[in-house]
Amino acid sequence: MVERALVPYARLAWAWCRALAQYPVSLVLLTLAQLGATGVELLALLFVFGHVDALAGFTLHEALLVYGLTGTAFWLADLLMGSVERLGEHIRTGSFDTMLVRPVSPLVQLATDEFSPRRLGKNVPSAVALATALGALDIDWTPGRAAMLVVLVVSGTAICCALWVLGACVQFFVTEARELANALTYGGSALSEYPLAIYGHGVARAATFLVPLAFISYQPALYLLDRPDPLGMWPHLRYASPVVAVLLCALAAAAWRTGLRHYRSTGS
């Protein structure tokens, strides 16, 4: 795993970073542009709280915690795996074939294609929101809870990575399905930027059991805040994020292998 996936990943990602470093001004400007794009979403949240004191029982800082957890996980996953959404394009142009004749996993090659540190710009607003929320909220910081914060962020990131890969796998079957994949990834992240409680039971259940978005930020936030779920869902769900992450990653890996087998038996 380390030698076959992580080392080539790091090599390829680093090569792209070096290529981008040839245009430092462009890199800085684009990073700022990305920062602006996600910053607007944060402003929208703050604007809402300019008019109300709480959303479905969540105060400004509690909502910022949810926003910060989602943004951190989703944009880290976007940095690491976001490029897989261009699978359909690579299949159409034939560059996916060139990936298949190299002795490195095509998923690693696809994920690192045009790897860009400028995407870190998207992480800035959510990092600020997360830091602000963690500083302002009265959280009972035991060593276990502090360690759990790291585990939850890693799990959330893994869930988002799995969603990116699942979205890409659809393109093995329908190469023009990028927008469909985006509905899952970008749509899912936009949904889980707010506490799920504001959408009511139907949406919250779908986002828990159908597409497990609830485990990116909502359930982890309930755990950190040590408060009951206003929707009254099973209280132990808040510990489930790491398990959901492992299961979803396994599902994504299986989907990738199935898609690859399908590709190699049809060609395009």
Confirm or reject binding of residue 127 to another protein (CB under 8 A). no
Complex with another protein: residue 102 or 201, whichever CB lies closer: 102
Complex with another protein: residue 17 or 251, whichever CB lies closer: 17
Distance (Å, whole) CA 167 – CA 163: 6
Both tokens of 86, joined, read 């261009």
**Residues with Cβ within 8 Å of residue 223, at least 6 apart in sequence:** 148, 152, 238, 239
Q: Between 8 and 47, how does the x/- string for binding to another protein read (CB under 8 A)? A: x--xx--xx-xxx-x-------------------------
User: Of residues 97-116, which lie at the interface with another protein (CB under 8 A)?
Assistant: 97-98, 100-105
Minimum CB separation of residue 264 from another protein in Å reads 5
- Phi, psi (rounded to 5 degrees) for 58: -100, 125
Complex with another protein: residue 15 or 40, whichever CB lies closer: 15
Complex with another protein: residue 76 or 107, whichever CB lies closer: 107
Complex with another protein: residue 97 or 229, whichever CB lies closer: 97
Residue from 26, 93, 182, 258 touching another protein (CB under 8 A): that is: 93
Closest CA to 114 of 10, 16, 18: 16
Q: Do residues 68 and 129 lie in contact, with contact meaning Cβ atoms separated by under 8 Å?
A: yes
Complex with another protein: residue 8 or 242, whichever CB lies closer: 8
Distance (Å, whole) CA 260 – CA 267: 10
Tell how far CA 44 is from the center of its chain.
20
Minimum CB separation of residue 95 from another protein in Å reads 6
Minimum CB separation of residue 139 from another protein in Å reads 44
Q: How far apart are the two ends of the chain, measured CA to CA in Å?
A: 29
Size of the site for another protein (CB under 8 A): 25
Minimum CB separation of residue 100 from another protein in Å reads 5
Residues linked to residue 58 through DSSP beta bridges, in sequence order? 55
Complex with another protein: residue 4 or 227, whichever CB lies closer: 4
Confirm or reject binding of residue 1 to another protein (CB under 8 A). no
Confirm or reject binding of residue 199 to another protein (CB under 8 A). no
Tokens 């039971």 locate to 201
Confirm or reject binding of residue 258 to another protein (CB under 8 A). no
Amino acid in position 180: L
Complex with another protein: residue 142 or 265, whichever CB lies closer: 265
Distance (Å, whole) CA 198 – CA 131: 23
Count of Cβ atoms closer than 10 Å to residue 113 Cβ? 18
Q: Quick one: DSSP state of residue 207?
A: I
Q: Do residues 69 and 130 lie in contact, with contact meaning Cβ atoms separated by under 8 Å?
A: yes
Minimum CB separation of residue 180 from another protein in Å reads 17
| Interface contacts to another protein, rule CB under 8 A | 7-8, 11-12, 15-16, 18-20, 22, 93-95, 97-98, 100-105, 264-267
